Chains A and B, each alone.
Chain A
């Protein structure tokens, strides 16, 4: 047998091996893709109901007699605040369902409406006292979360009683119940009542926290990277620092939380739960990522550019700031945005520094108590009310949306500022 024969005989086997390998590769890619698709499908189906809120139409009596107001009473805020709005809503429900007589049934009837409805009504009346008069106020109010879940998903759970189903059917016949876009989800903060809970607080918390993180980690990270890469002398000490930065990138994030607790809260006395402390801890966590990616970007700038500038008589500093840094900037920004995206999704270290608290107010600055989106997800996923499942999924969607946007910005920056040399 000559060589040609030998090669020919081995070819079949070689091609088969290549085909097999390609098959494995395709299978691996598809497995990943299928898992991603399942995950996204699950989250999206679970999240959809959260973007709809069930509302009930009420005619609320606002005549002075019902309100027990004397004709000469001044309608100042104190008087208006003292009105029993819960009672008004209950009264309007009784008027809508005159056939309900039993005390037990009445209680079930009152439960149709969210406990937040009375506050909505109160604010409306205080803002506009002219509403008080003989004409009843027609108003769509939020339904209770159990009603909401039942109405949207049309599944009977143990949380909803038979009588209530009857009430809802009647409301449906009278066109007094509807679903509309859930603005509460975007305008309100956390609440124990799912129908009144929203992500505004967590969103603002994430915003302030990330702002602190960006303001600290980007300048510090870039300065450290430029110094280490371009100016620092090569000796044992800088080697030691380099090794430690690489190690820091691999430290579990919760350790940074513990560090923040011990150093920033206990030693420096920074208020806990505040975006400032969250941002500080996340900066520590993101710094290694930014430093490492920035150094890689600086290293990839061709030395010929540096030599050209030096050869013209540019100082070391001018060479770095006029030529090396601008050329490395897309890489640095990409690294920074990926670091920030990591920080946006981080939960564990924030649990250690008190950002896991139940906070109803929207944080207005660096020092207000706050929580962040991933922690909000963690909190809601733990809540027993069924409606929180949808809210959790919806929040995950919002978070994923932000991450996608940030990564898109990173890609755009890389493409936009990329220059050939």
Chain B
């Protein structure tokens, strides 16, 4: 309840701010420059984490996108990564399952460990890693295949099903968990691309959980969806928390407040503040965090 009030508060603050924006624009820009991020404030280090990252730097060619970020992600928690556009939150997320490997110019340094194993170690196979750390993307991207084949693809390539009944079961449970089964049970052979945007995104989530990953990374999963579809996805995230660790990047502070237990605020490639979600939104410790959640910029 508190979090919701908070979301509304910040909205109101933002509206107030809009009115005076013309006057305060220069002031905000100055504030932006003045506040130097020296080190991360808050509880970024956990005991016994699922993911543990220390001093992560990510470069795109010459340009550095992430500066010395150290963050732990706990078992079965939902952590929200928030921050203004271009702050590096998606880049950080994509470093966690080595999706950045596909970009030639991208380099990652620092220590990233999943259950104590270094994921950038030579011995770590990115294919195996991505089977353990699934990803849901910003834009729903079902394969141009049937709904069934979309979900069955992961289990098939990894050989997770012994026979077709096994596979059927995996597909059905995954769809059920993604809250999509009842809507599509009569048309599993219909193309996945024919579903509505929200259904497509839930199909993508079903596809991801069909591989039974340990962690699910979500890169703004609801940004292309309408409010109703967004609400369904958010409910789903809450249910998935029982079995999975989830890191979600979001532009919407209300969404972060609704779905996450912890929130990390990124600013210009630096991890500024990490803390319990309701504390971050009610009592931000860093000036930049406060500016962002009160809508002074973003």
Contacts and interface: CB of A to CB of B under 8 A. Distances in A.
A307 B211 contact: no
B198 interface: no
Contacts of A304: 137, 139, 141
Contacts, number: 69
Contact of B158 (A302, A313, A421): A313
B130 to A, nearest CB: 4
Contacts of B193: 419-421
A400 interface: no
Interface string A110-136: 000000000000000000000000000
B134 A312 contact: yes
Interface string A278-308: 0000000000000000000000001011111
Nearest to A313: B131
Contacts of B102: 306-307, 310
B59 interface: no
A313 B144 contact: no
B52 interface: no
B137 A308 contact: yes
A311 B144 contact: no
Interface in B197-243: 204, 207-208, 211
Given A311-B135, A313-B130, A314-B127, A420 B144 contact: yes
Contacts of B97: 311
A interface SS class = helix
Interface string B123-157: 00001111100110101011110000000011001
B127 A311 contact: no
A327 interface: yes
A395 to B, nearest CB: 44
A314 B211 CA distance: 11
Contacts of B204: 308
Interface in B154-211: 154, 157-158, 193, 204, 207-208, 211
B137 A311 contact: yes
A420 B194 CA distance: 9
Interface of B: 97, 99, 102, 104, 127-131, 134-135, 137, 139, 141-144, 153-154, 157-158, 193, 204, 207-208, 211
4 tightest A-B CB contacts, nearest first: A313-B131, A311-B135, A304-B141, A313-B130
